[in-house]
Amino acid sequence: MAHVGPHRWADAAAGRLTAAERRRLEAHAAACTTCAAEREEVVRTWSAFGEIREAEPPPLRWDHIGARIYWITSSERRAAAGAPPERRRWTLPAVALASLGLALLLYTQIGRIIGRGAPDSTHASQSLLPEIAVVPPAPAALSPPPPLEGLVTFLQGDVRRDGSPLAFDDLIVAGSRIETGQGKVAIQFGKNSGFTLAPSSSVVLSEFDNEGVVLAVEGELFVDVSRRTDEQSFVVITGEREIRVRGTAFRVVHRGGQLRVACGHGVIAISDGQGEEELVAGQVIEWASASLMRDAARLSEMARMQREVIRMPAWTDAGALGATSSMLAISGAPERFVKVDGVPIGTGSFRVRVMSGRHYVEAEGVPGKWVELDAGTSLTTSVRLPETTSARGKARRRAELMRALDQGTRIDACMRPVRKQGIDENAFIILEIGILRSGTIEYLNIVDTNLPRSTAQCVRNVVDHFGFGEGPAAMFRQRISL
């Protein structure tokens, strides 16, 4: 008998063979050491299959994954809801084309009909139909390319625009000069295009339209631009030199005549009027020495660049996105990196643009928390390590809150629609509140409630206006029965 195919031993182990077949194979293995060894191996593999079948996955950071899923799906839904219907965009050109086609068809058909009756069709058609002169279309007047508008996605510390403090909702247009003191700002101007200006730097948006972007930089700038067409240029001017790109991510440091450029992906060309240096992904060049850097330094530079340009996941246009997104102000510790939905954003206190909805905010060593924002609103949250407040301090602030609630008729106003509908039984709201020593409410979040969203928001707003006096700082959660 020929040797047994190894897969037959798997069939035997799985009980897929008849008793007779099995006996025949066993008899062969008893006389054949090769097949016996193979049988042993296949059987051992089968037992490994059983263990693999029962293997449990490693623990994952479920909240992060959940937040990212929510971010993606909600962004897509909003983008879909906000997008103009595709068909409408093509309606006018389509009607115009159809009319033109119909006119041409009629013209040729009439010509043919008339031509059929005449002895010399060409001549007849020429004589009977008015001669149509083919006039080349007049060149369209050159219209300026559509201007670009940039949207602030991250703002921290002292940032000025044309000499005045930059507001988070300001739209950035051509001609703007943005300067940072001890601050930092990220600006997005397309689905995958944006830049981040580091502290003690300035950028002038000399050109900022659909065909060309020219940024004049002094200081440090991170750029990430999506691929440009041949008609679109993107130039960063650093003193005497120009950096031209198509689609790429790079970092420019231009201080005191020294230039350092790191390319994250894509290709960039640096020219100084005399020559041109091309830089590909993963390379860093220092113009003073004109030498490429060592690998370790290069890798850390690249890793840093990964998280520098903060962008919105869905892009419509700056105005629309500004109106539909929200500002999340985060008060964090300077030494702790804060992540929003698992994405590292920055350290300390800053404002970041997010899509409306729920977001997970966390920092190293600080328990993460969910925050919820409505479109066009802003919310401040703290991700500092909890201050060590005494139980007495917390109790005092709680009592203060409850006293204010007892006196407040505004809460009753919030609850009136719910009471009218008779759905106020067991109504509650759990608030998370942080109160500073000065009595200022540092943050106030709705943790849980069985109230309708608008009512819960109304109650939260009422609490937000409570005047707490000076006293101990306290952070606590309070369940309020309404």
Partner 1 sequence: MLLFVSRDSDAETGDHQALAGEAELIRRCQAGERSAEEEFYRRFRRPVAGNLYRVLNERTDLDDLVQEVFVIAFRGLDRFRGEARLSTWLYRICINVALGKIRSRTRRPPAIPMADLELAGHAIHDLHEATPGPDSPDAALERRRAHERVYRILETLPPKKRIVFYLHEIEGHDLKEIAYLVGANPVTVRTRLFYARKEFYRRIAQDAAAEACTSRTSGRGGQQ
Query: Is the Cβ of residue 379 or residue 463 nearer to partner 1 in the bound state?
Result: 379
Q: By CB under 8 A, is residue 15 in contact with partner 1? A: no
Written as six digits, the tokens of 456 are 């819960």
- Rounded least distance, CB 56 to partner 1, Å: 6
Query: Is the Cβ of residue 39 or residue 351 nearer to partner 1 in the bound state?
Result: 39
Please identify, among the stretches 2-10, 113-121, 234-242, 283-291, the one whose residues bind partner 1 according to the rule CB under 8 A: 2-10
Q: By CB under 8 A, is residue 49 in contact with partner 1? A: yes
- Determine phi and psi for 56, rounding to 5 degrees: -100, 145
Which of 23, 61, 112, 477 binds partner 1 (CB under 8 A)? It is 61
Interface residues for partner 1 in 176-205 (CB under 8 A)? none
Interface residues for partner 1 in 354-393 (CB under 8 A)? 357-358
Please name which of 214, 177, 213, 211 lies closest in space to residue 197, comparing C-alpha atoms.
177
Q: By CB under 8 A, is residue 53 in contact with partner 1? A: yes
Which of 42, 305, 352, 435 binds partner 1 (CB under 8 A)? It is 42
- Helix, strand, coil % in the chain, rounded to nearest 5: 35, 35, 35
- Determine phi and psi for 147, rounding to 5 degrees: -70, 155
Q: By CB under 8 A, is residue 256 in contact with partner 1? A: no
Please identify, among the stretches 17-25, 55-63, 227-235, 311-319, the one whose residues bind partner 1 according to the rule CB under 8 A: 55-63
Please identify, among the stretches 3-11, 17-25, 154-162, 325-333, the one whose residues bind partner 1 according to the rule CB under 8 A: 3-11
Q: By CB under 8 A, is residue 124 in contact with partner 1? A: no
Q: By CB under 8 A, is residue 65 in contact with partner 1? A: yes
Written as six digits, the tokens of 476 are 């606590």
What is the CB-side half-sphere exposure of residue 480 using CA atoms within 13 A?
Answer: 27
Q: By CB under 8 A, is residue 296 in contact with partner 1? A: no
Q: By CB under 8 A, is residue 58 in contact with partner 1? A: yes
Decide if 13 contacts 22 (C-beta within 8 A).
no
Decide if 259 contacts 222 (C-beta within 8 A).
no
**Exposed e or buried b for every residue in 110-137, given b needs 16+ CB within 10 A?**
ebeeebeeeeeeeebbeeeeeeeeeeee
Which of 2, 19, 57, 143 binds partner 1 (CB under 8 A)? It is 57
Please identify, among the stretches 72-80, 152-160, 247-255, 434-442, the one whose residues bind partner 1 according to the rule CB under 8 A: 72-80
Query: Is the Cβ of residue 10 or residue 124 nearer to partner 1 in the bound state?
Result: 10
Decide if 234 contacts 246 (C-beta within 8 A).
yes
Q: By CB under 8 A, is residue 38 in contact with partner 1? A: yes
CA distance 62 to 245: 39
Query: Is the Cβ of residue 62 or residue 93 nearer to partner 1 in the bound state?
Result: 62
Going across the sheet that includes 441-449, the strands are: 441-449, 428-435, 474-481
With H, G, I as helix, E, B as strand and everything else as coil, classify residue 431. Answer: strand
> Is the sign of the CA dihedral 298, 300, 301, 302 positive or negative?
positive
Per-residue contact flags (x/-) with partner 1 for residues 319 to 358, judged by CB under 8 A: --------------------------------------xx
- Rounded least distance, CB 379 to partner 1, Å: 17
Task: For tokens 């631009």, name the residue.
Answer: 225
59-62 contact pairs (CB < 8 A, 24+): 61/342
Query: Is the Cβ of residue 40 or residue 276 nearer to partner 1 in the bound state?
Result: 40
**Exposed e or buried b for every residue in 1-22, given b needs 16+ CB within 10 A?**
eeebeeebbbebbeeebeeeee
22-29 contact pairs (CB < 8 A, 24+): 28/1, 28/3, 28/4, 29/4
Query: Is the Cβ of residue 5 or residue 469 nearer to partner 1 in the bound state?
Result: 5
Please name which of 338, 331, 342, 369 lies closest in space to residue 477, comparing C-alpha atoms.
369
Q: By CB under 8 A, is residue 127 in contact with partner 1? A: no
Decide if 172 contacts 178 (C-beta within 8 A).
yes
- Rounded least distance, CB 84 to partner 1, Å: 21
Which of 2, 19, 55, 290 binds partner 1 (CB under 8 A)? It is 55
Q: By CB under 8 A, is residue 454 in contact with partner 1? A: no
Q: By CB under 8 A, is residue 56 in contact with partner 1? A: yes
Query: Is the Cβ of residue 37 or residue 399 nearer to partner 1 in the bound state?
Result: 37
What is the CB-side half-sphere exposure of residue 412 using CA atoms within 13 A?
Answer: 5
Query: Is the Cβ of residue 39 or residue 311 nearer to partner 1 in the bound state?
Result: 39
CA distance 301 to 251: 9
Which of 23, 24, 77, 479 binds partner 1 (CB under 8 A)? It is 77
Please identify, among the stretches 33-41, 314-322, 323-331, 424-432, the one whose residues bind partner 1 according to the rule CB under 8 A: 33-41
Q: By CB under 8 A, is residue 62 in contact with partner 1? A: yes
Residues near partner 1, by CB under 8 A: 5-7, 9-10, 14, 34, 37-38, 40-42, 44-45, 47-49, 51-58, 60-62, 64-66, 68-70, 72-73, 76-77, 357-358
